[in-house]
Amino acid sequence: MEKTVPELMAAISPAEWAQVPGSILELIYELVGRMDQFEQEIGELRTENELLKEQLARTSANSSQPPSKNPQGFKPNRKEPTGKKRGGQLGHSGHERKLYPTEMCQEVINHYPQQCSGCGGILEIENNGQAYRHQVVEVPPVQRLVIEHQFHPITCTCCVQENQAPEMTEIIGMGGYGPRTAAYVGLFSSEYRQSYRQIRALMQAVFGIEMSVGTINRLRTEVSEAVGDGVTAAQHYIQQQPNVGVDETGFQQRNGDGLNATKTSGWLWVAVTPLIQSFQVILSRASSAAQTVLGETFSGSITSDRRRAYNWVDVNHRQLCWAHLKRDFIQISERVGAWAQIGKSLLEQEKELFNLWHKFRNDQLTRSELKERVEPIKTEVLSILLEA
């Protein structure tokens, strides 16, 4: 093993140092100082180089980077081969097409064989067995329903005053499209994420209804206002729950409703409970937006990533998403030296945790058994992190 400069200098006796001219000593100390400086700079450059290489190697598998930004040719890690053939396995019950109850069918057609395929004899219908059921499902023809209101003015013969039916104002105020039409526009734009022009094309192609982009925006607003009380109740329910999953993602938000004049980037926030899920588009990704979703007085526990927007929630009430942690562990394992081994050790614990979770989901473990078997994993992960 090569000796360091201080070790080499310590090997020289004081008598030998005394024979070295002063000018040479000054030069030696200056060179030693420069070497120390160079070694420090080399260490800093090496660290910077490793960080830059790590940034270049970022993918959706080892960071929160979306798959759309993966480098060309990147292939995600595949599951380990099980050795089984593809397709249904031996003993698998299989899945058959769902049949609707016979009483729900609009028409039932009975078919009977007339002649025996064996002897050619005439068959008696009374001897038939269990019928094999086959259903053909068809979409009924869709025809738009147009109701025309004609308001006829009548002039009074006494005072020559022109009069209209009193319900005229109310009916016209309801707009030119019925509630079912508005509901379909709301469904296409929310659940199925269709653009204004796609909705316009769908309404024309499926229902034969023509409408402008401006009309679609107005109907969307009407639907939002109609379900407002229900949405508020759902959000209030979520904010009172003991456990909530929360996340956010970018959402293209223009100014169709007139509430985003600066065209700020929008964010789609989701809060999830076993019973209710709530989606909100908010023009912010900050803590104030998280408090809008969860409520400023939220006292339960959340499952989330490590975004700073959730830092106002007590750390003891936060469960970090293990999908994010797995990507972090992968990133650590791809470093060099001791870091690589630390990352691999964390991934081993992550794998064991998910194996237990899948057994629990498949009813192979009870909740109490899951908690008991997770404890050693928690202890080992903490030990690894302390070592790091």
Q: CA–CA separation, 239 vs 298, rounded Å?
A: 6
Provide the pairing of β-strand 266-272 with 243-251.
Answer: antiparallel
306: left (phi over 0), alpha (psi -120 to 50) or beta: alpha
Alpha helix (H) residue ranges in the chain: 5-10, 14-18, 22-56, 168-173, 179-190, 196-202, 213-226, 228-239, 287-294, 322-333, 338-361, 367-387
The burial of 107, by beta-carbon neighbours within 10 Å (0-12 exposed, 13-18 middle, 19 or more buried), is given as exposed
pLDDT at 12: 76
Say how far apart CA 310 and CA 319 lie, in whole Å.
11
Distance (Å) of CA 173 to CA 78, 167, 168, 170: 59, 10, 8, 5
Positions of the chain with pLDDT under 50? none
State pLDDT tens for residues 201-251. 999 999 999 999 999 989 998 998 999 999 999 999 999 999 999 999 888
Give pLDDT, residue 256: 65
Q: Is 273 exposed, middle or buried (0-12, 13-18, 19+ CB in 10 A)?
A: middle
**CATH H-level, domain 242-318: superfamily:** Ribonuclease H-like superfamily/Ribonuclease H (3.30.420.10)
247 φ, ψ to 5°?
-160, 170
Per-residue pLDDT at 191: 86
pLDDT of residue 116: 87
Q: Which helix (H) or strand (E) holds 303?
A: strand 301-304
The token pair at 340 is 């690589």
**Interatomic CA distance for residues 238 and 275, integer angstroms:** 9
Q: What is the pLDDT of residue 31?
A: 82
What are the tens digits of pLDDT across the range 286-315?
999 999 999 999 999 999 988 899 999 999
pLDDT of res. 26: 80
Among left, alpha and beta (phi > 0; psi -120 to 50; other), residue 295 is left
Q: Any idea where the domains of the chain sit in the sequence?
A: 1-43, 175-226, 242-318, 321-388
Q: CB–CB of 343/331 below 8 Å?
A: yes
Angle at 69 between CA 68 and CA 72, to 5 degrees: 95
